[in-house]
Amino acid sequence: MQCGGWCPQGRLAEDGPIPEQYPMQEVEGGDYRDRTRKNVLDSDGTAIIYFGEIEGGTESALDDCVQLAKPYQLINGAETQPGQAAKLIADFVRERGLETLNIAGPRASKVEKGHKYAFDTVRMLVEQLGRKSTPGKRSARGGRQKPNGQGQQQAPGVDGSGRSGQSRAGQGQGRNPKLNAQRRKGLGQHYRAKHGVK
C-alpha cells in the first residue's frame, strides 16, 4: 500500500519540516489551506476525523468536499474507538470503490490525543484493507503517482494529516447506517447553505 499527498511549500508542519522519508509533494507557493484543498481534489474521497466539533482546517476539508462534490465519511473520535473508526472508513472505501483516500483531522496542538487516535485508526485500517483487497489496488491521500514521477504515491485511506477515544455502546457513528447517512446529509446541507453551494 502506497502513501503520499500534498504539503505546504517548505514541507511545513507545526512541529518542523516534514522528513524526506514521507513521499509528500509541496504545493508551490501554497500554505496549509492550499494543501488541504489539493488533497481533497486529488483523492476519490475523504475520511474526516474530528473530536466533538469540526473547526479550523478540519472544517475547511469538509467545506472542500461539499464544494467539490467529493464523498466524505465523518468520524467523531470523541465517540468512536479507533477500531470502529477503521471499520467505518474501510466500509466507506469499499462501498465507494475508492482508490485514493484522503484522511483529514485536527493538528496535535488542537487535540493532543489526535495523533495517537489517527495513528491507531490508520494502522488498523491498513490491516483491514490489506486482508480484504488486492495489494496495490488502493492508495491514499491526494494524487496518484504519475508516470513522470511527479505526484504522490498513496496508501489506502491515509491522508497523513493525523498527528483516541471511547465509544459508548450504540452511540458511535456507523452503528446505524441510515442515521449516519442522515447526519452526513444534514451537515452537507448546512455547508451548502453556508457557502451558497448548490
The answer to whether 39 and 6 are in contact (CB under 8 A) is yes
What is the percent of the chain with per-residue pLDDT over 70, rounded to a whole number?
66
- Share of the chain residues as helix, strand and coil, in percent rounded to the nearest 5: 40, 15, 50
pLDDT digits (tens, 9 = 90+) for 24-56: 999 999 999 999 999 999 999 999 999 999 999
Confidence of residue 130 (pLDDT cuts 50, 70, 90): confident
- pLDDT at residue 141, rounded to an integer: 44
Burial bucket for residue 85 (CB in 10 Å: 0-12, 13-18, 19+): buried
- pLDDT at residue 127, rounded to an integer: 95
- pLDDT at residue 71, rounded to an integer: 98
| Helix H or strand E encompassing 159 | none
- pLDDT at residue 155, rounded to an integer: 35
pLDDT digits (tens, 9 = 90+) for 48-79: 999 999 999 999 999 999 999 999 999 999 99
| Domain spans, the chain | 5-195
- From residue 150, how far is each of 5, 23, 72, 136, 160 by CA, in Å? 11, 11, 26, 18, 18
* Mean pLDDT, range 138-146, rounded to an integer: 37
Q: Coil, strand, or helix at residue 56?
A: helix
CA distance 21 to 101: 20
Q: Coil, strand, or helix at residue 72?
A: strand
pTM comes to 0.69
- From residue 86, how far is each of 83, 121, 147 by CA, in Å? 5, 5, 31
- pLDDT at residue 145, rounded to an integer: 31
Sheet holding 45-50, edge to edge: 72-76, 45-50, 100-104, 139-140
Question: How is residue 131 written as a grid cell?
Answer: 486482508
- pLDDT at residue 132, rounded to an integer: 55
Tell whether the model's pLDDT for residue 7 goes beyond 80.
yes
What residue type is 130 in one-letter code?
G
Determine phi and psi for 181, rounding to 5 degrees: -65, -40
CATH code for the part of the protein at 5-195: 3.40.50.450
What residue type is 124 in one-letter code?
M
Region of poorest pLDDT, from 3-7, 64-68, 131-135, 148-152: 148-152
pLDDT digits (tens, 9 = 90+) for 154-188: 333 333 333 322 222 222 333 444 444 545 555 55
